[in-house]
Amino acid sequence: MKKLLFFLIPCAMLTWASCSKNSDSSVNAGGNATMSVYLVDGPASFDKVYLDVQSVQVKASTDASENDWQSLNIGRKGVYNLLDFKNGLDTLLGTIVLPAGRISQIRLVLGTNNSVVIGGVLFPLTTPSAQQSGLKLNINADLTAGVDYRLWIDFDAARSIVQTGAGTYILKPVIRTFTQAESGAIKGAVLPLDAKAWVYAIANVSDTISSTPADPTTGAYMLRGIPAATYKVAFHATSGVYKDTTVTNVIVITGAATTIGTITLK
């Protein structure tokens, strides 16, 4: 099977600050740690984005060779719709038990059955010919024996799919990674539903850190992987004549979800 290789935006350097202790005495005695990898998606205006996940691998060393790659135990190989995993939803790709110590990279290996649905029409997603063996993320983490680690792979579907002049589409993934230990979240709801609102977490006056559309049936939203800091949260109506609203001084704490009450656009 042909495999695909992608390189990431430079935000995947991770620090494991705090994780849960594993109570399995056999794991502790063997000097091992457990790592779980989850898939989550950023918002996009497509009907569906299908990604063919075949393998997730961890490089359990820091050398520059192609040795020491170990495969996670994948729960389900095959096609995932990325748009199923937004607004706080995710899916567990797999887990692995590794010896305590330094790991340097993780690699997501894709098959060739990748596609996007736009206006009810399915288009294959092609990839540049240079991208052939797996999607590499630099994590550079120190694993401690008896600790469970969680890592999220966050696709930006809107920026990862590029339309060509010929009307075809190319998959050029833009991805970030985050851990529960190094980030927080913002959640809440925005009404009325017919405003079709988008929500933005903004830092430093104009830096958009994360954004998402509110759920069309409930108005709920969740912005995940937000570094600890103080933000303003902007609510923008994409339909109707509703006025935009901004909430200031929203404090995000590592490892917690900050809740904003229901915002009603007028």
Of 179, 208, 223, the domain-final residue: 179
222 part of a folded domain: yes
- How far is 14 from 31, CA to CA, in rounded Å? 22
Q: 149: part of which helix (H) or strand (E)?
A: strand 147-155
On whether residue 255 sits in a domain, the answer given is yes
C-beta of residue 195 within 8 angstroms of C-beta of residue 265: yes
- Name the residue range of residue 232's domain: 184-264
- What lies within 8 Å, CB to CB, of 144 at 6+ separation is 16, 33, 100
The string of pLDDT tens digits covering residues 181-190 is 667 789 999 9
Looking at the structure, tell me whether residues 34 and 156 fall in a common domain: yes
CA 90 – CA 86 distance, rounded (Å):
7
Question: Do 44 and 141 fall within a single domain?
Answer: yes
**Do residues 6 and 114 make contact, with C-beta atoms less than 8 angstroms apart?**
no
* Number of structural domains in the chain: 2
87 and 209 together in one domain: no
Same domain as 129, residue 171: yes
Which ranges of 20-61 does DSSP label H, i.e. alpha helix? Answer: 25-29
- Pick from 126, 149, 179: which residue ends a domain? 179
- Over residues 149-169, the pLDDT tens digits come to 888 888 888 888 999 888 899
Both 137 and 169 in a single domain? yes
In a domain, 2, yes or no: no
Within-domain flag for 161: yes
Percent of the chain scoring above 70 in pLDDT: 83
Output 86 or 28, whichever has higher pLDDT: 86
Q: Is residue 7 part of a domain?
A: no
